[in-house]
Structure 1
Amino acid sequence: MSQKQQRKQLLVTTGATVTFTKLIELILHPTFLQLISSKLQYTHLVIQYGTSSDSQQLVEKLLSQIPQISNKKISFKPDGATTQTLTFPVTTTTTTKTSQTKSTSQQSTQSRLEIKCILFDTNLVANYTSKSHLVISHAGTGSILDTLRCPGVRLLVVINSKLLDNHQLDIAEAFANMGVLKFHVPFDDDIEKKIDWQGGKKVDDVERESFSDFLKLVEDVDDCEFKKIEPAKGSVIEDVILSECN
């Protein structure tokens, strides 16, 4: 890894108003941050967490639990923004071959991840989405379409099925079937059903497996080449997707 990392940005958007607790918890988990910084080489993480006071309190709590910044006082600007910088150790292995010998050496470096948390931005697409390599989004149709219309931006949708009768899973599946995104259903959206699927495993075990699945999916999407979404013909694409789901 070079001494100066090339800028690589990941945007997480949870929507404007509803506190998407599980998505925020997934993103601000130290293991996730280690993965995207050290292995996937992201240098910038932007989290749009929503305008509710509960969202800001959750972000503040989770930031304070990250080891690299646990001894700092988390402060927010009047517009609800806060920026924190983390560093993670990275070990690179280099193998040198000659005609007679082969030697291996390891070098320790550091990866730097800047985390910026914001309430909301009315120009989110221009300021953040279009400049990101990957977007992890709630399943709002507007947010999905905004991302899909940005060339070269990969999209992973996380379902918030605690929102009743909003067809999030149906919509995400329809888009996934088009080959333009992938989606993840977090563990705690339907605990009893997932435990039954897993053959009666303990809740903690199933939750760990679900988190591991999420991390693997992030790695997959980071390196995935999706199809381009086709423009709507004669009607808005939201109506097309909803009609496919019925």
Structure 2
Amino acid sequence: MESANDSKISKRTVFVTVGTTLFDALVKAVDTPEVKQELYAKGYTHLLIQIGRGSYIPARSTGDDRSLAVEYFTFSSSIAESLSSASLVISHAGSGSIFETLRQHKPLIVVVNEDLMDNHQEELAEELAERRHLFCAHPQTLYQTIASMNLDSLLPYPAGDAKPVAMLINKFLGFPVD
């Protein structure tokens, strides 16, 4: 079992991704002192934010005994390394990002971009949250989601089972669901 001192020494990264979109509301939400303090209080040591096409620039920090180290970047040819080294992922609601994170068995908070029209992503995120595979939030509820999250309550997403996804797509398109 890790002692409190060991957990401070080990790097526990929260990776935030907006994909290829513009989602400044998510970047601003994770850049608040309240969110950063809550993540630190939960034992995370680093915050890596992929800001995509956004114009909001988060505050960098090297971290110390009382705060997260914060870094950001715009795009990368692959986020696979950032994803695989993350202890927690906070993501936009893109299906690719969601399923790649779940495939790697990473705890996930999906933040819905309310500015998108015909937001089918919200339906997917809410359905997967209802099935307890992830947590679903909006930019304005991210702090509360982090403060109340219990990672032990999450269930692994069944690998290779396309039926639940097909059912969600059929439901969204208005086809009969068995």
CA–CA separation in structure 2 for the residues paired with 1:172 and 1:165: 14
Structure 1, residues 108-149: CA drift from partner, whole Å, max 9, x if none? xx2352212011223212x11121111110000000001000
Match of 2:127 in 1: 174
What is the percentage of aligned positions where both structures have the same residue?
27
Q: Would the aligned equivalents of 1:154 and 1:222 in 2 still touch at CA under 8 Å?
A: no
- Give the strand-richer structure, 1 or 2: 1
* Bigger radius of gyration among the two: 1
Aligned equivalent of 2:78: 123
Match of 2:63 in 1: 86
| Aligned-partner Cα distance in 2 for 1:220–1:132 | 20
The corresponding residue for 2:118 is 165
Give the distance between the partners of 2:90 and 2:29, measured in 1 at CA: 11
Aligned to 1:47: 49
> Number of paired residues?
169
Matches within 5 A, 1:164-243: 164-187=117-140, 210=141, 214-221=142-149, 223-233=151-161, 238-243=165-170
What SS does structure 1 have at the residue aligned with 2:110? Answer: strand
Structure-1-length-normalised TM-score: 0.62
Shift of 1:243: 1.8
Q: Which of residues 61, 77, 89 is equivalent to 1:135?
A: 89
Show structure 2 runs of 5+ residues with no match. Answer: none
**Contact 1:45-1:113 within 8 A present in 2 as well:** yes
Where does the alignment leave 5 or more consecutive residues of structure 1 unmatched?
A: 64-82, 88-109, 188-209
* Kept after mapping to 2: 8 A contact 1:9/1:45: yes
- Structure 1 letter corresponding to 2:63: L
In 2: Cα distance, 1:14 partner to 1:85 partner: 22
Query: 4+ residue runs of structure 1 moved beyond 4 angstroms?
Result: 235-238
1:237 Cα offset (Å): 6.1
Contact 1:9 1:44 (C-alpha < 8 Å) held by counterparts: yes
Query: Does structure 1 conserve the Cα–Cα contact (< 8 Å) formed by 2:15 and 2:83?
Result: yes
The answer for the alignment partner of 1:32 in structure 2 is 35
Q: Is the 8 A contact 2:24 2:51 kept in 1?
A: no
Whole-Å Cα distance in 2 between the matches of residues 22 and 43 of structure 1? 23
Q: Which amino acid aligns with 2:157?
A: I
Counterpart of 1:12?
Answer: 16
Which residue, out of 22, 25, 29, partners 2:25?
A: 22
> So what's the TM-score if we normalise by structure 2?
0.83
Alpha-carbon contact 1:174-1:244 (below 8 Å) kept: no
RMSD: 2.3
- Relative to 1, partners in 2 of residues 1:124 and 1:150: Cα closer, same or farther, differing over 3 Å? same
Taking the aligned partners of 2:148 and 2:79, their CA distance within structure 1 comes to: 25
